[in-house]
Amino acid sequence: EPEVTQTPSHQVTQMGQEVILRCVPISNHLYFYWYRQILGQKVEFLVSFYNNEISEKSEIFDDQFSVERPDGSNFTLKIRSTKLEDSAMYFCASSGYRGDEQYFGPGTRLTVT
């Protein structure tokens, strides 16, 4: 069964450093998403991506964040200068069409020290 994959599973970085989280969505899906979950809290939407551009973003997704689909398979989330409060689990998801079931990856746990 096709699945969304994410790398790395855990990343530790120092405050102020740049990080890139990687995702490989399901191959025939058209919509891609990033969500995050701060420890003990609910999952929050960050950004959606369709047709090679951002289609929607939340208030959390400020200028420190960017997304890219550098090739036909990868979908990346970059945090330019990490802060302590960026420590969270980051989930990538994909769906075939808008409103369809979203399939989530296993997540990347980001720890900023």
Partner 1 sequence: GIQVEQSPPDLILQEGANSTLRCNFSDSVNNLQWFHQNPWGQLINLFYIPSGTKQNGRLSATTVATERYSLLYISSSQTTDSGVYFCAVKDYGGSQGNLIFGKGTKLSVKP
Judged by the rule CB under 8 A, the positions of this chain that interact with partner 1 are 31, 33, 35, 37, 41-45, 48, 50, 55-56, 58, 89, 91, 93, 95, 98-104, 106-107, 109
Helix (H) or strand (E) holding 89: strand 88-95
Residue with Cβ nearer partner 1 (24 or 43): 43
> Which one, 58 or 64, has the nearer CB to partner 1?
58
**CB 23 within 8 Å of CB 36:** no
Q: Which helix (H) or strand (E) holds 109?
A: strand 108-112
What's the min distance (Å) between Cβ of 44 and partner 1? 7
Whether residue 25 is preceded by a cis peptide bond, meaning omega within 30 degrees of 0, is no
Please state the closest distance from residue 3 (CB atom) to partner 1, in A.
10
8 A C-beta contact, residue 91 and residue 104: yes
Min dist. Cβ of residue 30 to partner 1 (A):
10
CB of 16 to partner 1, least distance (A): 25
CB-wise, 18 or 68, nearer to partner 1? 68
Token digits for 72?
């036909």
Measure the CA–CA gap between 106 and 64, rounded to whole angstroms.
23
* 41 vs 74 by CB, closer to partner 1: 41
